[in-house]
Amino acid sequence: MEKVLATQNQSSHHAQEFITGSEALLRGLLSEGVECVFGYPGGNVLYIYDAMTGNPDFKHILTRHEQGAIHAADGYARSTGKVGVCIATSGPGATNLVTGIATAYMDSVPLVVITGNVPTTVMGTDAFQEADIVSITMSITKHSYLVRDVHDLPRIIREAFHIANTGRKGPILIDIPKDVSNHKMLYQPSADMKLRGYDPYPDPNPAEIDLLIRAIAASERPIMIAGGGVVYANASDELLEFVNKTKIPVTTTLLGLSGFPSAHDLWLGMAGHHGTYAANMAIQNADLVISIGSRFDDRLTMKVDGFAPKAKRIAHIDIDPAEIGKNVKTDIACVGDIKAVLQYANTKAVPSQSSRWIREVQENKTNYPLRYTDSEKEIKPQFVLEMIHETTGGDAIITTDVGQHQMWAAQFYKFKHPRSLITSGGLGTMGFGFPSAIGVQIGNPDRLVISVNGDGGMQMCAQEMAICAIHQIPVKIVVINNQVLGMVKQQQELMYERRYSQIDLAGSPDFVKLAEAYGIKGLRASNKAEASRVWQEALNIAGPVLVEFVVPKEENVYPMVVAGTTLDQMLMGDFE
């Protein structure tokens, strides 16, 4: 009898242990299936880091800057569809995350961002390393928590992951004061959630979708714009089925790339600021525009009052009702999870009357392809992206930084699989490309991950090469080096009468030596023959490699629609 009682006591004691807030946090993260946390310790998160020493199941990667940590978590989230997690200390640690939080918020990426704070006893006194991070990030988080009672932690962790990764996804902040992370509690995993007023998946309205189907049946010149929402909703298969049934040409936004196969006959390329001639002209001449998971942002629409002037109807499918009609007047609104909306739409889908229209848009695609003037003497950046595509067959995951190389990657790499382009869209964050690739590789250990960077953005988070070397994370780092802030130069050339101001990056380091200083193999190419050879060498190396391609600074990205003009007013560069 005593033995039985002792066993019962042991098991009930095990079910309800007395542990610290820090230990509860780590258990909560593990129970949410977190594989890896990216972070940087400091005074006010030391109890949390102390708890890690006794927890062999908990994996943490020490980045070299908090911004590297959050961009890595972001890349992990975008490429896997899971929630990315990062940790930083209070004050400067937390404020160093702000750019990454805004990056994720603008692009609807699910993150749980954990920050330390000063003890509750000194909050509000301007204590050492105190910053009110909840207020600072209020406008760039989907939701935030300041944990004042340790007993709330298990519930908050459950809620944070649920809110981050449902409905329109986004970053959640959990701010934990130092004393709370050390308070003891009787640990009980959080029970079911009841979040009042949070309905992440409004049921699609069949009447609106039926209206859309009727509009499609009557349409002669329809166009679909597929955005990042298609990728995030895992709705690529449903979109493909919808396109095949309705016979509607498709264009994608920057974040929508990879959501629809580039090889498909009806794909017209990316639309907008640096979109293809076929895509932009199709939007301007369409009688029906259907946006699917795209928020009609200004880089897509350009001058809004000249956007799609011939459209009799504009339809918008989106999870977030706040986006409907926000930028462009919408006639048919289908609010709901894109996968669910398209699944219903596919049960009723009928072909549009688009056969003549398809011939027209495909002629534009044939007659006005993306072009550049190649050279045998020097490496053109577009050639590099074409070469990367050919050698990988479109099967790699590409991360980019922000600038000209980003647009060349969007134009000249042909994406086959969803979640294979990882790039900062809405915020346009330089420094994002390389650290995000580290997160991508950790989330996709069996995939080839290639990080495409300019010489500007590469220097913003180059310190994270240490992580690749230490953990042998086999990212292939590409640096397209034109010795100049290329996108700024292009705008100064076209819109500021060539008054070049503060764009010279000639003092940049020798990137090959920099890579070698971190313990990574570095390679360089200055002409086409070298380019093919060193790239093949890089692909044959098992670990991380940096390859620098020296390209001419004169090269610009075309087509281009200048701000303040409409989509059909494209500059075509040398091919006007």
Phi, psi (rounded to 5 degrees) for 172: -115, 135
**Positive or negative CA dihedral for 566, 567, 569, 574?**
positive
Residue of 290, 296, 283 lying closest to 213 (CA atoms): 290
Closest among 449, 465, 372 to 411, alpha carbons compared = 372
Whole-number Å distance between alpha carbons of 378 and 558: 19
3-state secondary structure 152-212: HHHHHHHHHHHHHCCCCCCEEEEEEEHHHHHCEEECCCCCCCCCCCCCCCCCCCHHHHHHH
380 is known as an active-site residue: no
Sign of dihedral through CA atoms 59, 65, 67, 72? negative
The pair phi, psi for residue 155, each rounded to 5°, is: -65, -45
SS3 content of the chain, % helix, strand, coil (to 5): 45, 15, 40
Q: 398 in helix, strand or coil? A: strand
Q: How far apart are CA 143 and CA 138, in angstroms?
A: 8
Closest CA to 64 of 29, 36, 88: 88
Given 82, 142, 169, 178, the catalytic residue = 178
Active-site residue flag, 487: yes
Provide the pairing of β-strand 313-318 with 288-292.
Answer: parallel
d(CA 414, CA 83) in angstroms, rounded, equals: 27
Which residue among 17, 123, 129, 491 is the active-site one?
129
* Other beta carbons within 10 Å of 363: 11
Helices (H), 327-432: 338-348, 355-367, 381-392, 404-412
Which tokens in the block code for residue 354?
A: 């688009």
Instruction: Respond yes or no: is residue 178 known to be catalytic.
Output: yes
Contact 124, 146 (CB under 8 A): no
Catalytic residue among 185, 270, 465, 487: 487
Report the alpha-carbon angle 519-525-526, nearest 5: 140
Helix (H, G, I), strand (E, B) or coil at 522: strand
Can 58 be counted among the known catalytic residues?
no
Angle at alpha carbon of residue 161, lines to 192 and 99, rounded to 5°:
155
Q: In this structure, are residues 441 and 475 in contact, taking their beta carbons and an 8 Å threshold?
A: yes
> Which of 23, 32, 38, 66 is the catalytic position?
66
Pairing of strands 171-177, 111-117: parallel
DSSP state of 377: S
| Residues labelled as active-site residues | 66, 128-129, 178, 487
